[in-house]
Amino acid sequence: MGNPKLKWTAEEEEALLSGIARHGAGKWKNILTDPEFAPVFSKRTNIDLKDKWRNLTVSSTGHHGMKDKTRIPKLKSLMASTSSNAQRNESLAVVPHETPLDVVMEDAPNGTHEPKNAPKYNDMIFEAISAAKDAKGLDINAIITFIEKKQEVPPNFRRLLSSKLRRLVTQGKLDKVQNCYIIKKDMLPLSLPESKTSLAPAQKETRLQHPRTNGHAMVDTAMEEASISAAYKIADAENKSFLASEAVKESERVMKMCEDTECLLQIAKEIHERCSQGKIVLLA
DNA sequence: GTAGGGTTAAAA
DNA sequence: TTTTAACCCTAC
């Protein structure tokens, strides 16, 4: 891989969405060879288009539950940067139908999915494997199923998990026997101290505080709950504020497009009039 | 030609 | 250190 990674530009992304709107997702070659988009994609292959679309949609690859929440904001922000409203609507139409559009912007910081609070993959993996208590270990599907039962997973979770498992194997924390993963014996005490892995960070924190707080434990807990609740509300308010400002920007952009269109229309009218006059003169 | 899994550089 | 995203490989 001698070449540095070629980051996708906004123009390319826009062209991709427009191309998908026109030809449909999966028709990468058609999009690539479309005269309108070909110049934009001069450095891209159909594979690149496919990969980019996959990154944008991040469809889940082995399981059906599209509990997707990560990809929507990306698409949404992408749409917001798209210059054509018509194209945008079309683009939205080609988003895989199972895409839960109603969860757009559901990544608001109100706790729907917060990477910081999500258990680390390592913990989840170790927990899944040890919960199985199977000497042969667990394969990736079983691990995914286990984790899905406990919490929502991102749509590209299988992919992430696959990378993670490989890394753990190379780090010597897991053994891979055929397609099953086993926790190395020397990892067991570290990976599963009591129920550490099943506790969310906030829970762990709360739990750690209790022994020393004694009589104040109830007060502390109430205060903590109140602070968490306040934090959520603040985050929610911030999110709404952000959405509002984005909406204002969007409306301004549309207004500008209208003005531009009017200018173009005016120019076209003038050209048309002059051409008509020229014809009359010629005929005369 | 496309889909999907794997790899890895870059970003967070 | 973890996650993301671009690139690669391979099966169909």
Domain coordinates of chain A in residue numbers? 10-44, 122-183, 231-283
Q: Give the closest residue to B2 (Cα–C1′).
A: A26
The pLDDT value given to residue A241: 55
Give tens-digit pLDDT for A235-268: 555 555 555 555 556 666 656 665 766 757 777 7
Q: Determine whether the distance from the CB of A84 to the nearest atom of strand B is below 7 Å.
A: no
A47 CA, C10 C1': separation in Å?
13
The pLDDT value given to residue A205: 33
A149 CA, C7 C1': separation in Å?
33
The answer to whether A118 touches A151, Cβ cutoff 8 Å, is yes
| Residue A10 pLDDT exceeds 80 | yes
The pLDDT value given to residue A122: 66
A161 CA, C10 C1': separation in Å?
21
| Residue A47 pLDDT exceeds 60 | yes
Name the residue type at position A28.
W
A4 CA, B9 C1': separation in Å?
8
User: Could you say which DSSP state residue A177 is in?
Assistant: E
Residue range A196-207: average pLDDT? 34
A238 CA, B2 C1': separation in Å?
42
pLDDT level of residue A144 (50, 70, 90 thresholds)? confident
Q: Determine whether the distance from the CB of A29 to the nearest atom of strand B is below 7 Å.
A: yes
A266 CA, B4 C1': separation in Å?
51
pLDDT level of residue A275 (50, 70, 90 thresholds)? low
CATH topology of domain A122-183: Arc Repressor Mutant, subunit A (1.10.10)
| Residue A158 pLDDT exceeds 50 | yes
Q: What tokens does A167 get?
A: 């890394």
Q: What tokens does A164 get?
A: 């993670």
- What radius of gyration, in Å, describes the C-alpha atoms of chain A? 27
Q: Give the closest residue to C6 (Cα–C1′).
A: A5
Mean pLDDT computed over every residue of chain A: 60
Q: Measuring from the CA of residue A165 to each C1' atom, give the nucleotide at the shortest distance.
A: B6
| Residue A28 pLDDT exceeds 90 | yes
Q: Determine whether the distance from the CB of A150 to the nearest atom of strand B is below 7 Å.
A: no
| Residue A179 pLDDT exceeds 80 | no
The pLDDT value given to residue A86: 34
The pLDDT value given to residue A180: 73
The answer to whether A100 touches A72, Cβ cutoff 8 Å, is yes
Residue range A13-31: average pLDDT? 89
Q: Report the percent of chain A where pLDDT is more than 90.
A: 5
The pLDDT value given to residue A79: 41
Instruction: State if pTM tops 0.75.
Output: no
Give tens-digit pLDDT for A86-121: 333 333 333 333 333 333 333 333 333 333 333 456
A218 CA, C6 C1': separation in Å?
51
Label residue A275 exposed, middle or buried (CB < 10 Å: 0-12, 13-18, 19+): exposed
Q: Measuring from the CA of residue A26 to each C1' atom, give the nucleotide at the shortest distance.
A: B2
Nucleotides of B under 7 A from a protein CB: 1-10
The pLDDT value given to residue A138: 76
The answer to whether A235 touches A151, Cβ cutoff 8 Å, is no
Nucleotides of C under 7 A from a protein CB: 2-10
Pick from A14-28, A169-183, A244-258: least confident:
A244-258
The answer to whether A72 touches A107, Cβ cutoff 8 Å, is yes
Torsion sign (Cα): A211, A214, A217, A220: negative
How far apart, in whole angstroms, are the C-alpha atoms of residue A79 and residue A75?
6
